[in-house]
Structure 1
Amino acid sequence: MIILEAVYHRIGLNWSYAYNESTVHIRLRTKRGNVAQVQLVCGDKYNWDKYNESMAMEQFAADGLFDYWQAAVSPRFQRVVYYFALYEEAGETVYFLEKGFFDAPPKILYEGLFDFPYLNPKDVHTPPEWVKEAVFYQIFPERFAKGDPSLDPEGALEWGGEPSPTHFFGGDLQGVLDHLDHLVELGINAVYFNPLFAATTNHKYDTSDYMFVDPQFGTNEKLKELVNACHARGIRVLLDGVFNHCGHLFPPFLDVQQNGPASRYANWFHIKEWPLKVENGTPSYATFGFEPIMPKLNTGNEEVKAYLLEVGRYWISELGLDGWRLDVANEVDHAFWREFRREIKKANPDAYLLGEIMHDAMLWLQGDQFDAVMNYPFTNIVLDFFARRHIDATRFAQSINTQLASFPQQVTEAAFNLLDSHDTVRLLTLCGGNKRLMQLAVIFQLTFQGAPCIYYGDEIGLDGEHDPYNRKCMEWDPAKQDRELLAFFRHLIALRKAQPALRGSGLRFLTIPGLPQLLVYERYDERDRFLLLLNNDESACTVAVRSSGLNGLWQDVGSDAAIGIAESTIEVALPGFGYAILQASPDHLTKAIQLTVS
């Protein structure tokens, strides 16, 4: 019996959307294991008799509760109406229309069907194509490299000393310029900088002047030199835009402090009570969190809006900037972000707009605001399995599938996939200092769709708990770097960049009875197929992979396992926290391969 309560579809969001200017993706949810097959029956609402078709939907994901089905439709006249035919193994068939469930197909085909009215090109969410190929590197400017000691702030400590929330070490833009070859050798082609504009703190999230680089880092001209040098090396550049709040030395806020309600800038902020004060840790004005030095800007005010839009446009145009990472984006009104997108895309249609949102971000990802968000749900799933080891491989696969089903495909393709940052414990520390465990998490990150981001220093073994220890100075002495780990990062990044299948949407998890911490998955496209086995357990294990249609033509492209390849069986002996990455022979069609693992 088909469980109708579990069946779900609606027009829009992640269920029915334009993937590109000629293709509509249509999805359906059913109870897991309850429906054997789904047919999508679709056609033109103005001439169904002449233009209609029925196509089998693909089950593209499954989690603990549901199966998710998808079909790609290319409507000849840019519009499509449709319904679903659900088939159960025992023979029951249910027809699902917008107006409900029925035991027979509809007779009146213009009434009650799901209706995608028109595929308007302007409605298609199109993140920049370059992001699909990007491997990001996050730089915390104060701690990455010192290139010009004359810029050191007063009291700056010796490089590499013990950090604190208030210490300065003198990192600057010249230091980044001096070490761009490190990024190139690592394989990086996009950089995200934490804030560079004038501020009082070492993290610079308390902006005092949005139009000038902080003197500690250099000058506007030096930033332009850096961006040009990055572009010459094929590296895109994102700056951090802090538009939710400013710093306490931002001139309009200083004016409010001095003149109170009479200030012409009084409505630039959210003042709850005059005079401005802080009582029991709570300011009388809205701030980021309860931080008095970070007053919240009123982006509903036309002057504030005009000012911030000009800031966004200026740096995109002045530097040839490739995009903005937008801080605390979920606390700014949607109307502002819609205008911000319009203005930035006018200045650079290829700019990447990345919002900092740590929860379900679908409301910001409909093509009218951000191209992507920092993918913290992905981060938490990966860390829960590899680092914290709170879940097993089955739960991990189900959680990834739930996320894949929750967003349109182009959103997933442009997602910013990070494992740590200046706001979190470093990955190596989360893994208890276990480098092999860390490598497993990085392998999944670098063989998943979306844009991976590496936090500076992870590649050479930097560790650290929460702030300030996750913001240590970068180690530039090769003798103190983990060169083996660096070689691992270089190899995996190069493999990802060389193989489109490792960046695309083709993904299938294989379950292994009796080995709950062994993650096995395939990555594939029309040309290539990869098999990855990640042993997230300290105990060694041996796995037999049987492949029909390949005659054993596989090659090891990056493993620390012992691999034996016979006619139709691959024996993989994985050490504790070991991995194997296998590539099928390109001489064989992907669809001819059937894999079973035991």
Structure 2
Amino acid sequence: MEFSSIHHRPTDNFAYTIDKETLHIRLRTKRQDISSVGLIFGDPYISDKGQWLYEEKAMSLSGRDAHYDYWDVYVLPPYRRIRYGFKIRSGDDMAIYTEKGFFKEVPRDPGSYFAIPYLHQNEIFGAPEWVKDTIWYQIFPERFANGNPDNDPEGAKPWGSEEPTVDNFFGGDFEGIIEHLDYLEGLGINGIYFTPIFEAHSNHKYDTIDYRKIDPQFGTEETLKTLIQECHKRGIRVMLDAVFNHSGYYFPPFQDLLEKGEESKYKDWFHPHDFPLHGGERPNYETFGFFESMPKLNTANPEVKEYLLEVSTYWIKEYDIDAWRLDVANEVDHPFWRDFRKAVKEIKPDLYILGEIWHDSMPWLRGDQFDAVMNYPFTNQVFRLVASQTINAREFIEEMTAIYQSYPTNVFDVTFNLLGSHDTPRIFTDCGEDLARAKLIHAILLTFNGSPCIYYGDEIGLTGGMDPGCRKCMVWEEEKQNSELLNEIKELIRLRKEERLLANEGMFKFLDTSGNEDIVAYLKYNQDRSVVVLVNPTEAFQSFPLPFDLRGRTVTDLRTKAAIKERQIELGNYEYKILAFDH
């Protein structure tokens, strides 16, 4: 028994409440080292003749990555407090693992054990329920559709007349989006994420000039209100992008600082190193990256905080937005985000707060800051499996298991899963413009746990390299769209909405694929029904035996509606199957 690999802590992804009564507990052990684990638990204040009274409950092997096994169990502490430890067996060896270490026998002092002192109701992770059923569509407003040439910026190019560059404009606007809402409704999406719409100098608008003003090239306040109202009529939620880590170069307080230097009343709104300010390769003031056009805001300054929190609530109160996406969220201080959450949730309790973080995000997901983050770890692993083909199916399962186990399940259910964005190459380009692989990668996106997002144009096979190449004008001529890919994605969205387990209802786990390690297989299930997703990410024909006793059960292919007669499932190259059966 490898004691050094056994790990638990009574917080975060290892112990958390999933509802008012239920505690989810996990344990990590060395891969294939432990044969069974049981939970020892009880109320710390219940004893008999000085002996602590406890119960035991078997834990299940819930996942396995390249190095570790993960075990879990759900318990309902009757008095909303619990002390607990683990009875671990490896062959004939047995050990009791508690907060105080390892023992050969069960300690009878509750003070030796891990503790959840009380299950506070206000500490339950509380992301909006509607997010679990949302399929997002990301729009880069400058490149989606030009509905009103009269508000085009000076020098705007004819739509799609040239490749995107860092500084060209094509005149995309709100009216263009309104004109195509029926298309989005027909696609099946029910959430739109807009990259920044506030007045800015650039075409990407991440260099804000005025946080309370819509960029004139996109339209007027009334046009935006109409757009949001039309979205809501169609059951489509709206998420705006907030850039609170930094402002733009032409943000009036920064211009005042440039002009007046140390005498500026906005000196403490930013992070100047010395005066006068200068840009260049290494500005003498803090910025996003080293971009002189994006000076970093001092969000710990009370005036800055008050200003930005007022901005964040203004757009909710005046325009009834449903969500905020927070740019460069990891570079803003945690106290600011805690106050941000309180401010916006007070106005709209079911507002969705999404942070842009590309790495381990647990510090922001404890219920006091964000509801979710952009799940770039998911993006990276799916990309490596299908697009670059630099990992195989077994490695994908191991990597994704490690990611899945690093968050509470109720956090993962609302995480923002994406394949591409304005910051990444186009997924069709990454897939070598291979239609089968493009279909497959979207199938994983739209059958996995989380809240999936499609970047505008990916559904029709739009191509492009890294920024700015990924920001092409949307192609509206149907004869230039990849209709086969579009129809496949529509069907996947329809299935996700129709089959509740394909979204975020029930439980999730990867299946044992020792029968064929070239296949990715995962199960989504509740006590009444199971849905199995099988993925063949290879060029070769594959066969996979379903690891279930199917006697007396009817297995249905959800895409073809055909009944499956055999346990052995055949998959062609880059093919996937979605199967379902009742228990």
Q: Which residue of 2 aligns with 1:78?
A: 80
1:378 aligned onto 2:375? no
Q: What percentage of aligned pairs have identical amino acids?
A: 46
| Correspondent of 2:573 among 568, 571, 576 | 576
Q: How does 1:414-433 map to 2 (within 5 A)?
A: 414-433=414-433
Separation in 1 of the partners of 2:316 and 2:438?
36
* Paired letter, 1:105: V
* Paired letter, 2:580: Q
1:319 aligned onto 2:319? yes
Separation in 1 of the partners of 2:430 and 2:515?
26
* C-alpha contact 1:394 1:511 (8 A) present in aligned 2: no
1:4 aligned onto 2:6? no
Separation in 1 of the partners of 2:207 and 2:308?
15
Q: How does 1:229-308 map to 2 (within 5 A)?
A: 229-279=230-280, 281-308=281-308
Separation in 1 of the partners of 2:179 and 2:577?
36
* C-alpha contact 1:61 1:404 (8 A) present in aligned 2: no
Separation in 1 of the partners of 2:279 and 2:148?
39
Q: Which residue of 2 aligns with 1:592?
A: none
Separation in 2 of the partners of 1:546 and 1:412?
25
Q: Which residue of 2 aligns with 1:402?
A: 402
Shift of 1:261: 0.8
* Paired letter, 1:15: F
1:503 aligned onto 2:503? yes
Distance 1:22 1:515, change over 3 A: closer
Shift of 1:67: 0.9
Separation in 1 of the partners of 2:516 and 2:9?
38
SS of match in other structure, 2:335: helix
Shift of 1:543: 4.0
SS of match in other structure, 1:303: helix
Q: Which residue of 1 aligns with 2:165?
A: 164
* C-alpha contact 2:168 2:203 (8 A) present in aligned 1: yes
* C-alpha contact 2:554 2:563 (8 A) present in aligned 1: no
Q: Which residue of 1 aligns with 2:62?
A: 60
Q: How does 1:20-39 map to 2 (within 5 A)?
A: 20-39=19-38
* Paired letter, 2:37: V
Separation in 1 of the partners of 2:204 and 2:175?
18
Separation in 1 of the partners of 2:205 and 2:412?
30
Q: Which residue of 1 aligns with 2:151?
A: 151
Q: Deviations over 1:476-515 (max 9, x none)?
A: 1111111111110110011111112112353343454585
Uncovered stretches (5+) of structure 2, i.e. residues with no partner: none
* C-alpha contact 1:14 1:408 (8 A) present in aligned 2: yes
- The 10-residue stretch of structure 1 (133-142 or 223-232) with the greater mean CA deviation from structure 2: 223-232
Q: Deviations over 1:343-363 (max 9, x none)?
A: 011011101110000000111
Q: How does 1:67-466 map to 2 (within 5 A)?
A: 67-88=69-90, 90-108=91-109, 110-162=110-162, 163-279=164-280, 281-466=281-466
SS of match in other structure, 1:471: coil
Separation in 2 of the partners of 1:256 and 1:207?
16
Separation in 2 of the partners of 1:338 and 1:289?
24
Structure-2-length-normalised TM-score:
0.96
* C-alpha contact 1:565 1:571 (8 A) present in aligned 2: no
SS of match in other structure, 1:282: coil
Distance 1:476 1:385, change over 3 A: same
What value does the CA root-mean-square deviation take over the aligned residues? 1.7
* Paired letter, 1:433: E
Q: Which residue of 1 aligns with 2:44?
A: 45
Shift of 1:304: 0.5
Separation in 1 of the partners of 2:497 and 2:99?
43
* C-alpha contact 2:358 2:374 (8 A) present in aligned 1: yes
Distance 1:579 1:210, change over 3 A: same
SS of match in other structure, 1:378: helix
* C-alpha contact 1:552 1:570 (8 A) present in aligned 2: no
Q: Deviations over 1:47-104 (max 9, x none)?
A: 145974321112111111111111112111111111111122x222111111110010
* C-alpha contact 2:169 2:203 (8 A) present in aligned 1: yes
Separation in 2 of the partners of 1:16 and 1:551?
38
1:487 aligned onto 2:487? yes
Separation in 2 of the partners of 1:413 and 1:546?
25
Q: Which residue of 1 aligns with 2:557?
A: 556
Shift of 1:532: 2.4
Separation in 1 of the partners of 2:10 and 2:247?
39
Separation in 2 of the partners of 1:278 and 1:99?
55
Aligned length in residues: 578
Separation in 2 of the partners of 1:390 and 1:65?
19
* Paired letter, 1:26: I
* C-alpha contact 1:559 1:581 (8 A) present in aligned 2: no
Separation in 1 of the partners of 2:301 and 2:12?
30
Separation in 1 of the partners of 2:229 and 2:47?
55
SS of match in other structure, 2:287: coil
Separation in 2 of the partners of 1:234 and 1:326?
23
Q: Which residue of 2 aligns with 1:594?
A: none
1:471 aligned onto 2:471? yes
